[in-house]
Structure formats: C-alpha cells, structure tokens
Amino acid sequence: MAAPRQLLLRLWGVGTLGLVLAIATGAYWWEQQLPKRLQSALAANDYEACIRTSEQLASLRWLGEGAPQEQALCRQKHAEHLWDQGDSIAALTLQQQLVASGHGDLALHRKTLERWRQALMDQAIALFREGDLQQALELLDPLKGSARSSISQLSATLMEIWNRNQLEQRRLVQLVEQERWWEALDSLNKLDHPWWQQQASATRQEVESAIQTLDEAQQHQQHPAVRADVISGDRLDAAVEDQLLQGLDPWTAFSMGCSDLGGRVEEDGPESFCRRSSPSP
C-alpha cells in the first residue's frame, strides 16, 4: 500500500510542478508581449488600453516594479493628445495629476505643466482684451488653487478693469446726452480697455467734433477781425524779420513790416494784427 501511495504523491508533485511551470511560462510569455501591446495602444491613441496594459504589467512584475513609469507614459501621451485636440482644460487636469503622482520624468512634466499654464493665461488675457470676460475667467478657473493665489488675483484684476470701464461707459453716455463735451472727453480718456475703447470710438468722434465746433466759435468771437483783408503768414513774418535785422525793437519791427506790405496795425483787445489798408477814394 505504501508504494502506490508514494507513486501517487510523486505523480501529484510532478503534475503540480508542471502546472506551475506552465503558468509561469505563460505569464512570462505574456509579460514579453505587453510592451508591444503598450506601444501599439500609444500609436493608436488608445489611452484606455494603454492604462490597462500598464496595469497588467504591474500585476506580472515582482511587486509591480516599473509599472508606474509606463502608466505615467500613458497619461503623458494622453494629456499631450488632449492639448493638441484643443481640450486644454482636460489636458491641464491630467497633467496636474501626472505631476502630483511623482512618476515618470517629473522635471519634464512640470515644465510642460507650466508651459500650458502660461499658454492658458495668455489666451485668457487675449480673450479679455477682445471683450470676452466670461470666457477668460473660465479659462483661468482651472489654474486656481491654494498655491496659485496669483491666478485668483489676475481674475480679480480683470473683473475690476472690466467693471470700471463699464461704469465709465455709462457715465459717458449721460455726459454726451447732456452735451457736457469736455467732461465727456475726460471720461473717454479714462477708458483703458481696448474693447470698451472700440465701443466708444463713434462717441469719441462725436465729442471731438463738438469740441472743435465750440473752439472755432470761441476763436471767431475772440478774433472778429480775422478776415480776408488781414495780412499774416510767411510774408508778414519775413517782413518783420527784415526789420528786426535792422535793429528795431519787436513792436516797431511789426509795425514797419506791416506797413511795407501795405497794411496798418490794428488792435483787438490784447492782440494786434495787420490789416490791409483800404485804397484811398
């Protein structure tokens, strides 16, 4: 009885050992196939398959050594694909997770994250300057965090600039309606946002035209004698210069120069001008 029992034990041991060896051989063979599958998944942009393959590698390797590196590679490629496709928010979120994991080329991951952050900030500021405040704030929102207080400050600054210009625009409309042109011009000059400045461009033309009209009317009232019979310009300047070269004082030089051109000096308040003399009857 002992001999058959020992034979059975030997057969069981050999069978068990063979089964273990077969399983180990199969596992080893499968492990050798997984890197190729990983590369194929990456080439096909199948990032879910890439993650699954990296997890299988982790289960086959002793204590999963090395698997986090492959998982980091999958996530890195996935984030880059999302960024290239224009899904910047999802790409940034995945890249942040990748940096937090500490796996893979951490220096490269951090550099990529900062580059993407800056790109989103630049894009947000461009949208803000174009007049799309809400979209700009939505782009900045994923960048916020306990360690990113500067992003919160930037968002607050953008809102403050926008609200200030919006209020100034409303004040400008009221000033124009009341024809308070100089105050309206001051209000226009306080607009410091490109989009609001563009919105007020027609109003600026209206205000500047009104001010020019007022200036011309005021100038006409102050200089009623400025007519076609007034001698001025280069001819008068040259005649006065000739008299000054002869040693005359400025007033005498002006009077003599005016006389040489056939005019006479007339005074209009604090100012004087040279009027062409009327021919004798």
Q: pLDDT of 237-276, one tens digit each?
A: 888 888 888 878 777 888 888 888 888 888 765 567 788 8
In this predicted model, which residue has the larger pLDDT, 55 or 232?
Answer: 232
For residues 26 and 99, state if they share a domain: yes
* pTM score, whole prediction: 0.57
For residues 22 and 52, state if they share a domain: yes
- Which residue do the tokens 């994991």 mark? 101
For residues 199 and 257, state if they share a domain: no
The average pLDDT across 78-100 equals 83
Neighbours of 247 (CB within 10 A): 8
Residue 80 CA to residue 89 CA, distance in Å, equals 12
For residues 256 and 185, state if they share a domain: no
Token couple for 110: 């951090």
Is there a domain that residue 237 lies in?
A: yes
In this predicted model, which residue has the larger pLDDT, 193 or 23?
Answer: 193
In this predicted model, which residue has the larger pLDDT, 101 or 238?
Answer: 238
Is there a domain that residue 27 lies in?
A: yes
For residues 183 and 218, state if they share a domain: yes
Neighbours of 112 (CB within 10 A): 20
* Domain around 259: 231-264
Mean pLDDT, rounded, of the chain: 75
Is there a domain that residue 260 lies in?
A: yes
Residue 80's pLDDT is: 84
Q: Confidence band (pLDDT; 50, 70, 90) for 125?
A: very high
C-alpha dist (Å) from residue 261 to 271, 277, 281: 19, 9, 20
Is there a domain that residue 217 lies in?
A: yes
How deeply is 192 buried, as exposed, middle or buried, from its count of CB atoms within 10 A (0-12, 13-18, 19+)?
exposed
Is there a domain that residue 48 lies in?
A: yes
For residues 248 and 179, state if they share a domain: no
Contacts 24+ apart (CB under 8 A), 198-202: 199/169, 200/169, 200/172
Amino acid at 204: R
Residue 111's pLDDT is: 92
Report the relative pairing of strands 230-231 and 263-268 from DSSP bridges: unpaired
Is there a domain that residue 64 lies in?
A: yes
Could you tell me which of 277, 269, 275, 274 has the C-alpha nearest to residue 240? 274
Is there a domain that residue 122 lies in?
A: no
Give the number of domains in the chain: 3
The answer to whether 130 and 112 have CB atoms below 8 angstroms apart is: no
For residues 96 and 50, state if they share a domain: yes
Q: What is the pLDDT of residues 20-78, one digit of tens each?
A: 544 444 444 444 444 555 556 555 555 565 656 555 555 555 444 445 666 677 778 77
For residues 37 and 77, state if they share a domain: yes
Is there a domain that residue 210 lies in?
A: yes
